[in-house]
Amino acid sequence: MTDQDYTFGTEPELPRGHDDRAYYRLTARAVAGIQIETSEPAESAVAGHSAPRVLQCRIRDISVGGFSLISREPFTQGAILSASVDLANGANTYGLTIEVKWCRPVEQGYLVGVSVLESDETDYLEWMEAIADALAEC
């Protein structure tokens, strides 16, 4: 990672009322593929059912606890989703489980805040290490 990948602070267009964050945020140039539709194994065997749909979103800022992103489509508050996050450094993509905390319309689509959930079946520990490393570089 370089100093150009992450910086402390928030961008001015963040909605008001988000000064109560529990963790430092790093502004980031990163992308997330959010799985927004799933199909049950039995359904996928039936003709006409497609694979889960993945929505590509731009991440605005990240922290140990979560991140915010810009989406073309709204997300349901409380939804538990799978995400694949590329921190734009080309090193790793992290498979994570996220929970949608809030979703608000903005000029570019929707601004969505998510928390990263601890799970043994994901790259949770690697994510925590990557974010800790990014914080240490600032």
Tens digit of pLDDT for each residue in 28-65?
678 899 998 755 555 544 555 567 899 999 999 888 88
**At which residue do the structure tokens 């945020």 appear?**
25
Tens digit of pLDDT for each residue in 66-103?
999 999 999 999 999 999 999 866 668 999 999 999 99
Look at residues 71, 90, 89 and name the one whose alpha carbon lies nearest to residue 79: 71
Tokens matching residue 55: 């929505």
Average pLDDT on 8-20 reads 43
CATH 2.40.10.220 fits 6-14+25-137, yes or no: yes
Whether this model's pTM surpasses 0.75: no
Q: DSSP E strands: which ranges in the chain?
A: 6-8, 26-35, 54-62, 66-71, 80-86, 93-106, 109-117
Q: Strand, coil or helix: what is 119? A: coil
Residue ranges per structural domain of the chain: 6-14+25-137
At a CB cut-off of 8 Å and minimum separation 6, what does 107 contact?
none
Asked if 52 and 38 count as a contact pair (C-beta separation under 8 A), the reply is yes
Q: Strand, coil or helix: what is 52? A: coil
* Burial degree of 138 (CB within 10 A; 0-12, 13-18, 19+): exposed
Q: Strand, coil or helix: what is 116? A: strand
Mean of the per-residue pLDDT values of the chain: 78
**At which residue do the structure tokens 């489509």 appear?**
73
The sign one gets for the Cα dihedral 87, 119, 38, 69 is: negative
